[in-house]
Structure 1
Amino acid sequence: MSRLLIQSHQEFEQHLGKKLGVSDYHTITQDQINKFADATLDHQWIHTDPERAKKEGAFGSTIAHGYLTISLLPLMWEQVVDVRNFKMLVNYGIDQFKFGAPVLVNNNVRTHVWLKECTNLRGISRIKLRVQMEIEGSKKPAFDGSITFLYHFNS
């Protein structure tokens, strides 16, 4: 899949209101879920105990943490857009996220990205994106929301 190349604020502006693309699929594994649980100290059994989740859970298997799915956004963003010529990138905000469907272990997910806003703040580009994570084979997305980045482009 070819990525969109962006090297300046003006190049972002050319895509305002448009879909920028979609990431590759990523498979959510139990190992990834367990490592995320260790990193965040969230070991709730619906995430980390496959046997119990199969017997007692509502989904028949373990599910990924909602925040695990959100944490994949930087990876998936970089698969959609190749931003170059910047000094620094700052995560600035996460807004209006809704979790629509659980991501089960071994599900494949990918993210669709649209450019909602592009604002020049005295040389810093504030980029607001709509992001929607698709679960392969599901009608409902894992999530839908907005993220905002600040790009400090080189002069």
Structure 2
Amino acid sequence: MQTFASIAELKAFEGKEAGPSAWHEVTQAQVQLFADATGDHQWIHLDPERARRESPFGGPVAHGFLTLSLLPMLTSEITRFEGTKARINYGLDRVRFTGPVPVGARLRIRATLRAVSEETDGGVKVAWLVTFEIEGGARPVCVAETLAKLHF
């Protein structure tokens, strides 16, 4: 767990990696709940038998956006911000879904602090390069540059 209590601590960590998080299993129940929440009911996610027969992945896979939506949970395992008045999700600069996440697979993240820039309102904008790994996988399944604004 990497803890930050000041802008100076963030700046000192620039270019370094936090993590990895713990492994987290992606379940069919999560996939179903995500499909219901988003209206994305494609069979490749929700019909295990058909996915085993017809999918190029040999079974059901998680939605890419479900993988990305695990970011707050997984990030909270590798970073902590003490004394902040506000932490604001500022968005994403680039996201790539570079591989499938089969239902039942376990994911974790690593995050490299790419940039810390002071804002005119007294806060800072931080950019993290986050890599989602699948247990036993040879390459990442998602890579995203995330942005946040912090006020200490």
Q: What is the TM-score with the length of structure 1 in the denominator?
A: 0.94
- One-letter amino acid of the structure 2 residue matched with residue 142 of structure 1: V
How far apart are the structure 1 equivalents of 2:116 and 2:80?
A: 16
Equivalent of residue 9 in structure 1, options 7, 10, 16: 7
Within 2, Cα distance between the matches of 1:145 and 1:13? Answer: 20
**1:79 Cα deviation (Å)?**
0.4
Partner of residue 32, structure 2: 34
Name the count of aligned residue pairs: 151
Q: Report Cα offsets for 1:44-85 as digits up to 9, x if no partner.
A: 000111111111111111000000000011111110011111
CA apart distance, 1:124 = 1.0
Aligned partner of 2:58 in structure 1 is 60
Give ranges in structure 2 of 5+ residues lacking alignment: none
SS at match of 1:109: strand
**Structure 1 residue 17, shift from structure 2 partner:** 0.8
Distance in 2 between the 1:34 and 1:84 partners?
A: 35
Tell me the equivalent position of 1:117: 115
Which amino acid letter does the alignment assign opposite residue 135 of structure 2?
A: E
- Counterpart among 75, 91, 104 of residue 106 in structure 1: 104
For 2:38 and 2:84, the matched residues in 1 are separated by 30
Per the TM alignment, residue 10 of structure 1 is displaced from its structure 2 partner at its CA by 1.2
Structure 1 residue ranges (4+ consecutive) displaced by more than 3 angstroms after TM superposition: none
Question: What amino acid sits opposite 2:30 in the alignment?
Answer: Q
Give the secondary-structure state (helix, strand or coil) at the position aligned to 1:23.
Answer: coil
Once residues 38 and 86 of structure 2 are traced to their aligned partners in structure 1, the CA distance between those partners, rounded to angstroms, is 26
Measure, in 1, the Cα distance between the counterparts of 2:47 and 2:5: 45
Q: Which amino acid aligns with 1:132?
A: T
Q: What root-mean-square deviation, in Å, do the aligned CA atoms of Structure 1 and Structure 2 show?
A: 0.9
Q: What's the TM-score once normalised by structure 2's chain length? A: 0.96
Shift of 1:145: 2.1
2:141 aligns to what? 142
Per-residue CA shift, 1:115-143, capped at 9, x if unaligned? 00001103111010000000111112111
Letter in 2 for 1:95: D
Percentage identity across paired residues of the two chains: 38
d(CA) in 1 for partners of 2:82 and 2:54?
A: 48
